[in-house]
Structure 1
Amino acid sequence: MVYTPRSARHGTLLVGTVAVLGLLTGCGNGQEAGSPPITASGTAAPAQDGKSGSASAPASVPAGTPTASAPRSTASAGGGTTPATTRTASQAGGSRCHTSELGAAVGRNDPGAGQENFPVVLTNTSGRTCTLRGYPGAAFVNGSGGRLGADPRREPGSAVTVTLRPGQSAWAGLTFSNPEVSGAKQATPAALLVTPPDERDSLKVAWPGGPVPVAGNSSSVRLTVLSPGAAP
């Protein structure tokens, strides 16, 4: 047997004890010394307002994320909410008188100084109030519907909006030189086609005025803007 001095055995015991303690310390939490603590997923939320968190607490919603229950409204000047509005069909279509809502007529001639002056009258035959503005269209036609002469020229004038309640009328002046006086080529129309402003469809009116100029230097026919009423 090998003899070991007592002092050597004592030193070996101390070294072994220190090694065991170091091993136990390193295995206590599975971490190296100085490492930050590990947070496991699924732990409770931090305590708020003196109450501990709960693992079942709902997750927070990121800022700006819309929710299905959020109401949609428009803030008004008074601080309240105003529901969204939709334009009605009458607002979208405007209040202009359409051809189907009008009747046409040619009024009595008011001649003077070799001129023939006829009022062309448009009357609101509908059940609503509508408006006319500007010049109507006009054209002389024969019995077969063929045009006679050029379309009337527009007399300079300021257009006004004429509001027509049911049964009310507006008129425009149709003026030309008497062809028997001016010497222009003439023809006698069967009808006058009248087209309301901004419309495509025309109204056909029997022509009561006799011969009209259709060619030559003095064949011009003129038309004025619409004015309220049925006659000058």
Structure 2
Amino acid sequence: MADRSRRVAAWTAGALVVLAAPVSCGTGGGPPVASDRPSASAVPTSADSPRSAVPSESAASPGPGTRTETGHTRRPAPRCRTAGLSAAVGRMDPGAGQRNLPIVLTNVSSRTCTLHGYPGAAFVDAAGEQLGRDPKRAPGDAATVTLAPGGSAWAGLRYASPGVSGARAATPAALLVTPPDERDALRVPWRAGAVPVSGTSSSVFLTVLRPGSGP
């Protein structure tokens, strides 16, 4: 009987130890409470976070004018305006009864601009009255010429020598040069002698603009 009492006491003591074990694992003396917050090791870092799958602003497709790793979109330079240009007449190149002179337009502004096509030109007397008809356009493929500050473009002015053609001639006081798509002209003093203004072979021709200051 005494042996049985000792076995019951030992079993009871063991059961109390087992029951007490979960209590010793708690932090507040009571049973542990499950938390819905992940531990620090379970929270994704910025590299693992789903946000890293969303393209950043720099990785998104570039819009117009946005600089990219391979370059950037450039907007075309504006058209050259009369106020930003100067005009001059180059040296005459006579040959076979023809007179050839370059009309030179130079960018005197501080920004890059473009010229395209033919300039306008007209001979005038001292009173500003036009002498002869407007020049005709010689056939040619027009191309856009980009002028950096200080850059030039030229067009050829050609006509038959009045002494050879027999056309009626006059000596202009100036040549008015109008840049393409502009209304205001640049006045250039004329020092190349008489030009044909009417009669046989009195036509004057202009070529398209091209880069440089002459042939």
Normalization by structure 2: what TM-score? 0.66
Q: How does 1:42-53 map to 2 (within 5 A)?
A: none
Equivalence for 2:85: 102
Q: How does 1:1-232 map to 2 (within 5 A)?
A: 95-232=78-215
Equivalence for 1:57: none
Taking structure 1 as reference, are residues 81 and 131 closer, same or farther at Cα in structure 2, changes over 3 Å only?
closer
Taking structure 1 as reference, are residues 80 and 96 closer, same or farther at Cα in structure 2, changes over 3 Å only?
closer
Deviation for aligned residue 1:216: 0.4
Find the aligned partners of 1:194 and 1:202 in 2 and give their Cα distance.
5
Taking structure 1 as reference, are residues 183 and 131 closer, same or farther at Cα in structure 2, changes over 3 Å only?
same
Find the aligned partners of 1:119 and 1:150 in 2 and give their Cα distance.
19
Deviation for aligned residue 1:81: 11
Equivalence for 2:5: none
Taking structure 1 as reference, are residues 209 and 79 closer, same or farther at Cα in structure 2, changes over 3 Å only?
closer
Taking structure 1 as reference, are residues 94 and 216 closer, same or farther at Cα in structure 2, changes over 3 Å only?
same
Matched residue SS, 2:130 = coil
Q: Extract structure 1 runs of 4+ deviating beyond 3 A.
A: 78-82
Matched residue SS, 1:214 = strand
Find the aligned partners of 1:164 and 1:105 in 2 and give their Cα distance.
16
Deviation for aligned residue 1:151: 0.4
Contact 2:175 2:189 in 1 (8 A): yes
Unaligned runs of at least 5 residues, structure 1? 1-75, 86-90
Query: What CA RMSD, in Å, does the superposition of the two structures yield over aligned residues?
Result: 2.6
Normalization by structure 1: what TM-score? 0.61
Taking structure 1 as reference, are residues 216 and 129 closer, same or farther at Cα in structure 2, changes over 3 Å only?
same
Q: Which amino acid aligns with 1:102?
A: L
Deviation for aligned residue 1:217: 1.8
Contact 2:124 2:176 in 1 (8 A): yes
How many aligned positions are there? Answer: 152
Unaligned runs of at least 5 residues, structure 2? 1-56, 67-74
**CA shift digits 1:161-217 (9 cap, x unpaired):** 111000010000000000011100000000000000010100000011100000002
Deviation for aligned residue 1:80: 8.8
Deviation for aligned residue 1:94: 5.7
Find the aligned partners of 1:224 and 1:79 in 2 and give their Cα distance.
48
Taking structure 1 as reference, are residues 103 and 80 closer, same or farther at Cα in structure 2, changes over 3 Å only?
closer
Identity level (%): 65
Q: Which amino acid aligns with 2:157?
A: L
